[in-house]
Each structure stands twice: as C-alpha cells, then as structure tokens.
C-alpha cells in the first residue's frame, strides 16, 4: 500500500496592493515555493472602479495610462505574472484602494485614517475568512513602514485576530528604503519582536518585480532604477517574527535569526 503524500504546508502573504508582497518579500516567497511550500498571495485592495475621477483618476494617469483603461484589471494581470515567477497562487479580494475611499491626495494616503473610512470591520472579517479558508502554517504581512493607510488598516485587521501559526512581518519596500527615518506606525510593537532574515536570489526577485510594469517608472524611474534599488537593498529580506520559527523545522530551513 502506497502512503499518501504529505500535504504541502501553506504560506499566506497578505498584500495590501498588487505588488507589495513581491516588492517586499518576493525573494522569500520564491524560496518557500522552491522548498515545497504552497505559497498564496492574497491581495486585499484590487477592486476595479468604473469611471474614476479626481485623485483616483490621477493615480492612473500618472502611470501613463488613459482613463479608458481598467487599471486594476491590468494590475491583476501583472500580479498573476509575478506570482507565477515566484511560484505562488493568487487571491484577489474586492476592496477599493484608498483613493476610492475618500483619500484625495498623496499626503492623505500617508496620513491618519479618515473618520469616514469605515473599512475596518469588513477587512477584519475578510482576513479572518482568508485564514480559515487557506489554513496557513505561516503568515507574511507588512509592518506598514511608510505609513500608507492601506497598509495600516491591514496590519490593524491582522493584529485583532487570534493566531496560532508563525507570522513574519515584512519591511515595506520601497518605502523602508526611501529615507533614513521612515514613518513606522507600529514601530514600537515591531521592535519588540525578534528580527530574522532570509537570503534571497536578487535576479529572481527582480524578475518578479518587473512583472508590475505599470509601477516601475513611477516607483523607481524604470527597470534600471528597480535593479539599482534591489541591489542597494542587498540579498537579504528582513522580518520581525511573532511566534517561534525556531520550533518549526520546515520554516527554520530558510530563516536566519539575527542576534
């Protein structure tokens, strides 16, 4: 009698936007996939909004895209290509990005959550549903470095939920690399957690990041700027870890604790 194969462990990455997981921990996702994990990238804010106006439309036009283009459909296609490169499955949740929830400027995106932004309860329920449906053995999520409101509400949602598996909080790239002292809304809580590192293959990560072609000029000045930024960041992805990864032999094969 042939024994049934052992099911793959699942790693769930909670990505606010369609690129955050790849930019911040794409190398780690690729390593997990290569070592036999099932990797799922669940992106929260992916809703297509017909006929955007104001700042929401400006966020599309400044990428060189005409108003007639379904911007989020284009970005979901990019996400599918990127996740295929790192060996991840995709899940796209239907929440609108901040410019469609009343945030009317770039400054507002990195300011406090608006009193009129009532997304918290629905987002918390959705994240709880993701955890129940995917049954991950590992969760990866942003630290919200930089203070983008969409990142902040994701962290808030996750922190309110019970958790029984290791959690890796990633450093939000490129925000964490843009200044020497980026905003860290959860800095005190994150610094209280142990730090760990994953050595990555930079060309593999660069290929995954390059799939987000609509973002490269705006975020990095083009593919060459992305390559420069990734080389400057180095071949290490840094995390704060909740729960003892040292007790998880499968996870400990790729993580390196930092003294």
SS (H, E, C) 160-195: CCCCCCCEEEECCCCHHHHCCCCCCCCHHHHHCCCE
Q: Is residue 39 within 8 Å of 190, Cβ to Cβ?
A: no
What Cα–Cα distance (Å) separates residue 74 from each residue in 60, 78, 90?
A: 11, 6, 15
pLDDT at residue 130, rounded to an integer: 97
| Reported pTM | 0.94
Reported as type and span, the H/E element at residue 1 is none
Q: List the beta strands (DSSP E) in 75-182.
A: 88-92, 138-142, 167-170
pLDDT at residue 101, rounded to an integer: 97
Question: How sure is the predictor about 242, in pLDDT bands with cuts at 50, 70 and 90?
Answer: confident
Tell me the CATH architecture of domain 10-257: 3-Layer(aba) Sandwich (3.40)
Q: Is 66 left (phi over 0), alpha (psi -120 to 50) or beta?
A: beta
Would the pLDDT of 42 be above 50?
yes
Domain ranges of the chain: 10-257
- What value does the mean pLDDT take over residues 34-56? 96
Segment 71-109, tens digit of pLDDT: 999 999 999 999 999 999 999 999 999 999 999 999 999
CA atoms of 206 and 222, how far apart (whole Å): 12
Find where tokens 């400006």 sit: 58
Q: Which residues, other chains included, contact 246 with Cβ-Cβ below 8 Å and sequence gap of 6+?
A: 252, 257
Q: Which residues, other chains included, contact 203 with Cβ-Cβ below 8 Å and sequence gap of 6+?
A: none
Segment 181-204, tens digit of pLDDT: 999 999 999 999 999 999 999 999
Would the pLDDT of 258 be above 80?
no
Structure tokens at 53: 């106006």
Nearest to 183 by CA among 144, 142, 226, 132: 144
Dihedrals φ, ψ of 99, to 5°?
A: -60, -20
pLDDT at residue 3, rounded to an integer: 43
CA atoms of 230 and 234, how far apart (whole Å): 6
Distance spanning both ends of the chain, measured CA to CA: 47
pLDDT at residue 76, rounded to an integer: 98
């Amino acid at each position: 009698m042939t024994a049934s194969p052992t099911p793959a462990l699942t790693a769930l990455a909670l990505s606010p936007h369609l690129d955050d997981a790849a930019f911040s921990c794409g190398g780690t996702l690729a390593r997990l996939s290569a070592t036999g994990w099932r990797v799922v990238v669940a992106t929260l804010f992916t809703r297509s909004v017909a006929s955007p106006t104001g700042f929401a439309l400006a966020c599309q036009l400044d990428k060189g895209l005409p108003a007639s283009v379904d911007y989020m459909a284009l970005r979901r296609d990019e996400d599918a290509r990127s996740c295929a490169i790192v060996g991840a499955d995709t899940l796209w949740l239907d929440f609108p990005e901040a410019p469609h929830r009343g945030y009317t400027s770039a400054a507002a995106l990195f300011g406090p959550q608006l009193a009129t932004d009532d997304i918290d309860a629905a987002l918390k329920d959705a994240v709880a549903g993701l955890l129940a449906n995917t049954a991950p053995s590992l969760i990866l999520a942003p630290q919200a470095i930089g203070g983008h409101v969409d990142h902040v509400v994701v962290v808030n949602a996750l922190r309110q939920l019970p958790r029984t598996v290791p959690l890796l909080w990633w450093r939000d790239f490129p925000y964490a690399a843009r200044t020497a002292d980026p905003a860290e809304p959860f800095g005190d809580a994150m610094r209280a957690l142990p730090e760990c590192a994953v050595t990555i293959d930079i060309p593999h990560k660069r290929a995954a990041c390059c799939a987000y072609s609509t973002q490269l000029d705006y975020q990095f000045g083009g593919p060459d700027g992305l390559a420069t930024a990734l080389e400057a960041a180095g071949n290490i992805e840094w995390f704060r870890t909740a729960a003892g990864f040292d007790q998880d032999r499968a996870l400990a094969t790729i993580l390196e604790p930092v003294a």
